[in-house]
Amino acid sequence: MIVYTPPKPADNIPVIDLGPSFADDTDLKKAVAWEIHKTARDTGFFYITNHGVPQATMDGQLELAKQFFDLPVDEKMKVDASKSSCTRGYESPGLQTLDDGSPPDLKEGFLIGVDLADDHPYVRDGVPNCGSNQWPEKPEGFRPRYEGYVDEMFRIGRHLMSLIALSLDLPEDYFAEGLREPLFNGRLLKYGPQPADAAFNQIGAGAHTDWGMITILLQDDVGGLEVENAAGEWIAAPPIPGTFIINLGEMVRLLTNGLYHANMHRVLNNQSGRDRYSVPTFFDPNYFYEVSCAPTCMPENGKPDYAATTVGGHIAEMYRKTYGLAA
């Protein structure tokens, strides 16, 4: 259990301007990649600006979350995740426990992933967490609105992975094969104000690291995200208008043999009377892509500290662990 202690004010989560990295100039791309390299060795968290996603798209996705969670419970339960073979759909408060040993998280969610029909080989072969999404009928236009947002996340995700490759002195297209058909999960999340009668160490989202490669987080103006830096200090990650927060997951730590950090983070909504909405997108190479130590990070003895794994195998195990804890 990671016992809650208050964070200090944010002072070292950098804001990285992605604008120059979209130019057809390798030196400009490498300069942005170097900024990622520096923060990846500390918090593994950074804000991005000039990413190309219209503000209207960002605002619209947060509004979509609010409209969905404002629906009556019986309407949301029509797409309850318990009706899905791959945990897709509505997630009631208390369904997930991210901090082992703590009470279930105080958040409400909705989950989608790669939408695969029943006749897709992955579904026919019983590959874990593969299948179709449950799409609610309300609010109107939910599916096309969310899928339009996912298109933008795929564009940013592929671009960030190319910069991560450059940051490690790898070819820009090092991950291209695994990103032809990326694996992703997208969530809408609602955090009510922290209740006075919450159990000991029960907060919106308990302290945890993310499981995959990168997370692209859109958050509203309420705040509540907190990050553990390399010194083990908890710092706030306040909202900055027009930005996304990017954080690195456990597979990047494996990829870099621990050079890059996948740091703990958590959510506590301490704004009285206000709900917090956020939209994380977990972006990864395809299910069977093998993640192993990059050649530029290989220790001299040729024996990395982390065993190779596949993207899907690792994520399936983490699903089992976190949802099992909340059962």
What pLDDT was estimated at residue 74? 96
Closest CA to 265 of 196, 219, 310: 219
pLDDT, tens only, 247-258: 999 999 999 999
- For residue 237, pLDDT over 60 is answered with yes
154 pLDDT higher than 90 = yes
What distances in angstroms separate CA 259 from CA 67, 235, 252, 315, one per listed residue? 41, 21, 9, 21
Spell out the alpha helix ranges (H) of 115-260.
Answer: 121-124, 142-167, 250-255
CB 43 within 8 A of CB 261: yes
C-alpha distances (whole Å) from 108 to each of 25, 42, 237 are 43, 30, 21
Q: In this structure, are strands 45-49 and 15-17 parallel, antiparallel, or unpaired?
A: parallel
pLDDT in tens, 162-172: 999 999 999 99
Q: What is the mean pLDDT of the chain?
A: 91
Query: Letter for the amino acid at 271?
Result: Q
What pLDDT score was predicted for residue 76?
A: 98
> Whole-prediction pTM value?
0.92
Write the Ramachandran bin of 272: left for phi over 0, alpha for psi from -120 to 50, otherwise beta: beta
DSSP label at residue 16: E
Residues 18-66 have pLDDT tens digits of 999 999 999 999 999 999 999 998 888 999 999 999 999 999 999 999 9
Tell me how far apart the alpha carbons of residues 186 and 181 are, in angstroms, rounded to a whole number.
Answer: 15
Across the range 111-127, mean pLDDT stands at 92
pLDDT at 327: 32
Domains and CATH numbers, the chain: 15-326 (2.60.120.330)
Q: 112-129 as b/e, with b when 16 or more CB fall inside 10 Å?
A: bbbebeeeeebbeeebbb
Note the pLDDT of residue 323.
Answer: 62
Q: What is the pLDDT of residue 96?
A: 72
Structure-block tokens of residue 146: 């969310």
